[in-house]
Chains A and B, each alone.
Chain A
Amino acid sequence: MSDNPQHTPRARRGRAPDVFRPGGWVPMREYGEDETVDFAIVGTGAGGGTLACKLAEYGFSVVAFDAGPYFRPLEDFASDESEQTKLYWTDDRIVDGANPLQLGSNNSGKAVGGSTVHFAMVSLRFRPEWFKSRSLLGYGADWPLDWREMWNYYREVEQALKIAGPVNYPWGPPRPRYPYRAHPLNAAARVLAKGCEALGIGWTETPLATLSAPRGLAHPCVYRGFCVAGCSTNAKQSALVTWIPRALAAGAEIRDLAMVGRVEVDAAGRATGVHFHRDGTWHFQRARHVVVAGYAIETPRLLLNSTNGQFPDGLANSSGLVGENLMAQSNQAVWGLMDQEIRSYKGPPSLAITEHWNYEDKGKDFFGGYSYMSQGPLPQLWANTQMAARGLWGARLMSDMQNYNHVAGLKIVGEMLPQENNRVTLADEVDQFGLRIPRVTYSWCDNDKRLIAHALKFMTQALEEADARDIWTQEDDTCHLNGTARMGSDPARSVVNADCRSWDIPNLWICDGSVFPTVGGANPSLTIQAIACRTADRIRDLAGRGELDQPARRRYAAQTAQ
């Protein structure tokens, strides 16, 4: 039988790949399709993988589905950018709007472990005020979560991933010490540091989910630099090598190459399980609860594709907000040439960061914030950037590529505001499974543009201060997708409540970046995982009190009546 994980499922017959041992297996509990499991989880990334682990450890029976392959990083990952595009979700999608998103690379993932398999490992906490950005900062929407509670869940995730971070973090309220120490800075990171020091703002080593010391069978990072093309050493603490092995050990089943196409809901308005495609045919898995964790495009797509007579506009969509308020994060950059060699590909790409403009509100002509980080583009990505952003081709491109080892860059992760017109809807075209494909509509608002302009101007100054020359700006790039199923306190203005539970269908949950009401200027993975940990705790507590079957809406009504 083929051992190509992209064609043949690996997690079956009572075993799943042991990601730490070449050719090894770990035992895996399997559930029959007629067996009603406690939780069917759609997606195994930062949200679904984390939740599967925590729920299994709390004693629930869990089956987690992923449309992607079950990779063995030690064997399947090559030092080859083209080969590693196999980690991306490249199924058909339609993009439109004034600023159509480029999909299918850094903002997507199709593998057990989701996009954490190729994420840049940047593990930031949100600024506390962002959880109440409408009330405290005057924009966006408030989260129904308290930052102090989130602070505890951040800590849990940081411990679980052995985040390597600075001894003291310069911004925000005190946080506990990162479990592992920060990595050494590469030359690209020192360029960022030099610019910040010249401009008098703070900088620090980026808290990263890659090991700076051994952990079990995982080795410390060898600074191979292929992080965003998949870590072949297991130093990267992706869901694939952290939460998923724990989930398996706790009795969860992982179904790889299993595309969920529809959530089934009965006449009583309760989810009964999921239809999934595996081994060439459709199957149905019964479940007491369904969790959708497919990220900001696939989550609304699944909900919208699961219409029935009772829910003609899609599941969990009485607010009409499923698919709306899609938020990317702006990802513009400034690049320049340094006299000395930089070789920015050495080590993790973003070793240094400044969150100055996330925490400083003065001197801004826009709402929201941004961080910026040092960069380490691999050669193929760099050639693509030169082509797409500068229109270089032929001899000019060849000539500029000669400077690759001297390039340093600064790139933002910037907050974009939620807008209902930025949305995921369904196109009429269907994919290889016969499912309607998503149409992703995206346009920047004036605030987004002002933030980008501010960032580009500031970073240009910073590069100048760091003695870079031939500076140019990359003005059109985005990363990270969030929103589309926002959480909130009011069923009319949100899709799920603080527990990530649908207001409409009591046993339907959404647990990924879709639930973000705002995105902040920080990479979202740590927050997604923290929310998943919180959701698991809430599910355990609700079950313990016998309230797991009580509709969220009834509890909301009881609260508002008090």
Chain B
Amino acid sequence: MTEFDTDRGSLNAGLAIAGLLAGSVLLLAAGRAPANGHRNGRAAALPPRRSSRKRPTVVAARRLNRAAGVLAASVLADSSVEHYRGSFKNKAMYTPLIVSASTLATSLHGTADARPAAHWFRDATYLTAAVSGLIGTGFHIYNVGKKVGGFSWQNFFYGAPIGAPMAILLSGLLGFCSERVRESRKGTRPEIFQLPAGRTMAAVIGAGLLGTSGEAGLLHFRGAFHNPFMLLPVTLPPLGAALLGRAALAGPGQQHRATRWWMRVLAAMGFAGVGLHAYGVSRNMGGWRNWSQNILNGPPLPAPPSFAGLALAGLAALELMEDHPDA
């Protein structure tokens, strides 16, 4: 906490809840989406617009939309709570709310869309998200650096979190990649910037896992790793990143079964992290009875699902590599 704002109104609570609700809606949608496009052909939850529902590139693209959406929901809820806590002191602090909400809506659209063509609006939104993530990172770095003490532990701990805007950048990148995969022509290698799509995404997602792990590491170090569970997000995701890196470098025809399982573990960790953070909130003065203050003071509830978003994207990339060994 940077400003010792202890005079909390009830609005904060409303905003926090709104952020969490948005996340829940996405997760529900995400839960339904894979059935729609799954290659096992389970009953569709949303009516397909084209008959290409089983085309692997479209399946992969929709999974990536879903992953981008999970990340965007995490950002929407997290930036709502944290920037509310910062009293939206700078008008620019509304940006991630607007961008992540748009990205979330776009991702829902993409998840539901079974057509094998990119959509210019989705592309535009995802690119905007990526750019705003970069600009946001710049803003956060500026915020840390301008405080007395400069780039010190104190300011990295309690200034604007350096890594947080990267989550919306990653969401935008995943969405952008999903559009490139989706528009791949049948019988050709899915590509992103002329690179094999699956492997490129595996590398990007691996880097994203490392960065997110770094962010969790910094903040859990701030909390002195007082609970052993706080070690999970600094140990499991780097292993996942290594596995994804290996997958990115491996030749065609590999199964990557362990990597897929590891992505499922990371997704579970991401969602379970909300529960652990809820427990963390309860350990502040007044516990959940004092929720309007402790949601702001305690560990951020919406943060851990960003791991789940990346892990789901990793799964999508691995499945694409399986369906398109050269991807």
With beta carbons under 8 angstroms apart, the residue of A166, A212, A213, A223 that contacts B153 is A166
A33 on the interface (CB 8 Å rule)? no
A215 on the interface (CB 8 Å rule)? yes
Contacts of A166 in B (CB 8 A): 153-154
B2 on the interface (CB 8 Å rule)? yes
A11 on the interface (CB 8 Å rule)? no
CB-based contact A193/B148 at 8 Å: yes
Contacts of B227 in A (CB 8 A): 214
CB-based contact A223/B1 at 8 Å: yes
Which residue of chain A lies nearest to B157 when distances are taken between CB atoms in the complex?
A181
Contacts of B157 in A (CB 8 A): 181-182, 184
- Most chain A CB within 10 A, of B6, B222, B284, B285, is at B285
Interface SS of chain A: loop
Q: Given A166-B153, A219-B285 in contact, is the A190-B2 Cβ separation under 8 Å?
A: no
A146 on the interface (CB 8 Å rule)? no
B39 on the interface (CB 8 Å rule)? no
Which residue of chain B lies nearest to A346 when distances are taken between CB atoms in the complex?
B4
CB-based contact A184/B226 at 8 Å: no
Which residue of chain A lies nearest to B280 when distances are taken between CB atoms in the complex?
A214
Contacts of A223 in B (CB 8 A): 1, 4, 6
Shortest CB-to-CB span from A346 to chain B, Å, is 4
Q: Given A219-B283, A222-B6 in contact, is the A167-B153 Cβ separation under 8 Å?
A: yes
CB-based contact B283/A184 at 8 Å: no
A243 on the interface (CB 8 Å rule)? no
Contacts of A356 in B (CB 8 A): none
- The answer for the CA separation of A449 and B283 in the assembled complex, in Å, is 48
Near B by CB (< 8 A), chain A positions 348-371 give none
CB-based contact A212/B154 at 8 Å: no
Q: Given A167-B153, A179-B224, A190-B148 in contact, is the A184-B6 Cβ separation under 8 Å?
A: no
B149 on the interface (CB 8 Å rule)? yes
Contacts of A233 in B (CB 8 A): 285
- The answer for the CA separation of A235 and B286 in the assembled complex, in Å, is 13
CB-based contact B284/A219 at 8 Å: yes
With beta carbons under 8 angstroms apart, the residue of B6, B148, B153 that contacts A197 is B148
Which residue of chain B lies nearest to A205 when distances are taken between CB atoms in the complex?
B154
Contacts of A219 in B (CB 8 A): 283-285
- The answer for the CA separation of A347 and B227 in the assembled complex, in Å, is 24
Q: Given A185-B154, A223-B6 in contact, is the A193-B149 Cβ separation under 8 Å?
A: yes
- The answer for the CA separation of A347 and B2 in the assembled complex, in Å, is 11
Across chains A and B, the number of contacting residue pairs, with CB separation under 8 Å, is: 69
Q: Given A186-B4, A205-B154, A347-B4 in contact, is the A222-B297 Cβ separation under 8 Å?
A: yes
A180 on the interface (CB 8 Å rule)? yes
Contacts of B221 in A (CB 8 A): 181
Q: Given A166-B153, A184-B1, A194-B148 in contact, is the A220-B284 Cβ separation under 8 Å?
A: yes
Contacts of B226 in A (CB 8 A): 180, 213-215
- The answer for the CA separation of A501 and B222 in the assembled complex, in Å, is 41
Shortest CB-to-CB span from A191 to chain B, Å, is 9
CB-based contact B6/A181 at 8 Å: no
Shortest CB-to-CB span from A220 to chain B, Å, is 6
B223 on the interface (CB 8 Å rule)? yes
Contacts of B284 in A (CB 8 A): 214, 219-220, 222
CB-based contact A222/B149 at 8 Å: no
- The answer for the CA separation of A197 and B148 in the assembled complex, in Å, is 8
Near B by CB (< 8 A), chain A positions 140-179 give 162, 166-168, 179
- The answer for the CA separation of A182 and B153 in the assembled complex, in Å, is 9
Contacts of A180 in B (CB 8 A): 224, 226
Shortest CB-to-CB span from A59 to chain B, Å, is 30
CB-based contact B283/A214 at 8 Å: yes
Which residue of chain B lies nearest to A162 when distances are taken between CB atoms in the complex?
B224
Contacts of B223 in A (CB 8 A): 181, 212-213
Contacts of A184 in B (CB 8 A): 1-2, 4, 154, 157-158
- The answer for the CA separation of A429 and B223 in the assembled complex, in Å, is 53
- The answer for the CA separation of A194 and B147 in the assembled complex, in Å, is 10
- The answer for the CA separation of A451 and B210 in the assembled complex, in Å, is 52
- Most chain B CB within 10 A, of A166, A180, A213, A347, is at A213
Contacts of A162 in B (CB 8 A): 224
Contacts of A168 in B (CB 8 A): 153
Shortest CB-to-CB span from A433 to chain B, Å, is 39
Shortest CB-to-CB span from A334 to chain B, Å, is 19
Which residue of chain B lies nearest to A74 when distances are taken between CB atoms in the complex?
B285
- The answer for the CA separation of A180 and B284 in the assembled complex, in Å, is 16
Contacts of B154 in A (CB 8 A): 166, 182, 184-185, 205
Shortest CB-to-CB span from A341 to chain B, Å, is 10
Shortest CB-to-CB span from B300 to chain A, Å, is 15
Which residue of chain A lies nearest to B149 when distances are taken between CB atoms in the complex?
A193
> 22 A-B contacts, Cβ less than 8 Å apart?
A167-B153, A179-B224, A180-B224, A181-B221, A181-B222, A181-B223, A181-B224, A184-B2, A184-B154, A184-B158, A190-B147, A190-B148, A197-B148, A212-B224, A214-B284, A219-B284, A220-B284, A223-B6, A224-B6, A235-B285, A346-B6, A347-B4
Q: A168-B153, A190-B148, A223-B1 are in contact. List 7 more A-B contacts (CB 8 A).
A: A181-B153, A182-B157, A185-B154, A214-B283, A214-B284, A222-B6, A222-B297
Question: Sorted from nearest, which 9 A-B pairs have the closest CB atoms?
Answer: A346-B4, A214-B283, A184-B158, A219-B285, A213-B226, A193-B148, A167-B153, A180-B224, A213-B223
